[in-house]
Amino acid sequence: MKTTATWLTASSSGAIAILQIRGECNLALKALGIAGPLRPGIPCRRDLGGIDEGIVSLLDQDTLIVMPHGGIRVRQLLQETMEQAGINLSEPDTVDPRSLHPEAGDRYEALMLETLTRAASPLAIDLLVQQPERWRSRHSGFTPDPGRTRRLNRLITPPLVVITGAPNVGKSTLMNRLVGRTVSIEADLEGTTRDYTRGLVDLGGVVVDLVDTPGRRVSSDHVEQEAILISDELLEQAECIIELMAPATRPASRQVTASLAVMNKSDLDGTEQLARQQGCGCCISAATGDGIEELVLLVRNELVTDDDLECGDPWLFDPALESAGRSETDR
Ligand X SMILES: Nc1nc2c(ncn2[C@@H]2O[C@H](COP(=O)(O)OP(=O)(O)OP(=O)(O)O)[C@@H](O)[C@H]2O)c(=O)[nH]1
Residue nearest to ligand X (CB): 215
Cα(167)–Cα(193) distance, integer angstroms: 9
Burial track 276-314 (b if 16+ CB lie within 10 A, e otherwise)? eeeebbbbbbbbeeebbeebbebbbbbbbeeebbeeebb
Cα(329)–Cα(331) distance, integer angstroms: 6
User: In the complex with ligand X, which residue's Cβ is closer, 43 or 247?
Assistant: 247
* Interacting residues of 281 by C-beta distance below 8 A, sequence separation 6+: 260, 261, 262, 298
Does 247 bind ligand X (CB under 6 A)? Our answer is: no
H helix or E strand, kind and range, residue 108: helix 107-118
Does 119 bind ligand X (CB under 6 A)? Our answer is: no
- What string marks each residue from 248 to 287 as x (binds Mg ion by CB under 5 A) or -? ----------------------------------------
Least distance from Mg ion to the Cβ atom of residue 163, Å:
9
Does 285 bind ligand X (CB under 6 A)? Our answer is: yes
Cβ atoms 21, 87 nearer than 8 A: yes
- What string marks each residue from 166 to 195 as x (binds Mg ion by CB under 5 A) or -? -----xx-------------------xx--
Least distance from ligand X to the Cβ atom of residue 183, Å:
12
| CA 51 to each of CA 25, 46, 81, 82, 313: distance values in angstroms, whole numbers, following the listed order | 18, 11, 9, 12, 46
Query: What does 219 interact with, of Mg ion, ligand X, none (CB < 5 to 8 A by kind)?
Result: none
Query: What does 169 interact with, of ligand X, Mg ion, none (CB < 5 to 8 A by kind)?
Result: ligand X
Does 232 bind ligand X (CB under 6 A)? Our answer is: no
Query: What does 44 interact with, of Mg ion, ligand X, none (CB < 5 to 8 A by kind)?
Result: none
Does 81 bind ligand X (CB under 6 A)? Our answer is: no
Q: Which member of 55, 230, 261, 268 binds ligand X (CB under 6 A)? A: 268
First to last CA, the chain: 22
Least distance from ligand X to the Cβ atom of residue 53, Å:
46
Least distance from Mg ion to the Cβ atom of residue 170, Å:
8
**DSSP symbol at 70:** E
CA torsion 28→31→34→35, rounded to 10°? 100
User: In the complex with Mg ion, which residue's Cβ is closer, 192 or 301?
Assistant: 192
Least distance from ligand X to the Cβ atom of residue 184, Å:
7
> For the chain, where are the E strands, in sequence order?
4-7, 14-16, 19-22, 44-48, 52-60, 63-67, 69-70, 88-89, 160-165, 197-203, 206-212, 240-245, 260-263, 282-283
Return the residues of window 128-167 that contact ligand X according to CB under 6 A.
167
Q: Which member of 70, 97, 158, 215 binds ligand X (CB under 6 A)? A: 215
Least distance from ligand X to the Cβ atom of residue 15, Å:
34
Does 121 bind ligand X (CB under 6 A)? Our answer is: no
Q: β-pairing, 69-70 with 240-245? A: unpaired
Q: Count residues contacting ligand X (CB under 6 A)?
A: 23
Cα(262)–Cα(282) distance, integer angstroms: 5
Does 264 bind ligand X (CB under 6 A)? Our answer is: yes
Which residues contact Mg ion (rule: CB under 5 A)?
171-172, 192-193
Q: Would you tell me which residues interact with ligand X (CB under 6 A)?
A: 167-173, 186-188, 190-193, 214-215, 264-265, 267-268, 285-287
